[in-house]
Structure 1
């Protein structure tokens, strides 16, 4: 950004005060987009402004601007896409299950396997959860607001598959009875045994089933997308069978209202150890996956 002193130097050809004044007016009338978003009260920090800009969620005079340092006229019309009510898209996925199945969250102790940015955890807290244990193998991804929330006990750089209760809970710590899981690049079947040990009755669980991580590579198409509803059903059925072998029972199944980044349809499998709902056979699950495909790919 030019220094104010340099604006008054003019140039050999002009050298006039009027020209310097014009430069100054032009300088003052423009501002970095990320800074302007904060000054206008549209973002709480420059870091947030930069994330939104780089994500293509900010438009200036009806045109998307994706570089935070772009200088724009301060009188420009700036718009930010309507923000999700949660810190990430994951919250929109989980809330469908909570609302569709009428799962009570108020006052409950929960565990979020694969917390990532924190969409599932945010959804639980907004639903009244008393405490959420957030587990993730990564580091530094959790939204700062959740990171500083006293209701969130965060365990980063932690492999859920290998996590033992004594590693997570002290003797007097409350034990979760509601689990939510959103993991990638690993089959749910591999983390369910640990999840069972980390929870207590009724061991209610909502699992985000991602078919691309459950079926064999031969059934994963271009860009990692599982398009065949029968393959999607197989993925769900396999996860359900593993869960039932551990002691869970089927309670419900629906699909996420939004697809994964590459377009994969994802499913929300609801389990409880005391459920009296009849478990669906593969054909019944296929009917659900076909309905999901018709709904999301029409």
Structure 2
């Protein structure tokens, strides 16, 4: 077993864990002498660990125990923009199998022929995208849960209860999720490392299939389109209500003016 396959892991199996910790992660100034890559930033941690940091708020740690993970995440607190109260996690088991084809058996570990840094970075890329998708899937589902009663009432009665404030809140929730999900994570983009290591494209394709990255991204985009349409419908409802209110006010003013005119004519005739 050569040095590349021994490092950064100390055994035949180890754990990779991705943490989605914040909206943004500032990696400036974290470059070190033992850096493994710069996009994403990857470097060694302790004796057998590796950290891979993504600017969109994901940290992937490989070969660290739970205490080391918490200590490392704690050291990044000052670099987090809008940290999450609840962080999402994605976990994978990596197995060194130099005599086997690199594959991911159903329900099994990720089998690698070597534990070279570029292979670990590819795993980090897949885990990071998967954990971001998981959070966004949950956020999108929550927007659907909030807007579903509006849609059901519209379908049943043709009307929608709730004041302007309630509708605006739903629009805000929908647009906020759409903005976050359409942010800096491009699931369909090829990792930068594949431009230098095209021989690893098959491994990454298997990781994409295992975590269903493309399928989940397409499903999320379809749901985001529905959210955008929902926000537009709610906005149109507000505009319609406002237009109807203005029309009623104008009608009442005209009626009031007619009544005043009739009254004045009656007074002048009696005079």
Q: What is the TM-score normalised by the length of structure 2? A: 0.23
Greater length-normalized contact order (CA 8 Å, ≥ 6 residues apart): 2
Computing the radius of gyration over CA atoms, which structure comes out larger, 1 or 2?
2
Which structure has more helix as a fraction of its residues? 2
Q: What is the TM-score normalised by the length of structure 1? A: 0.22
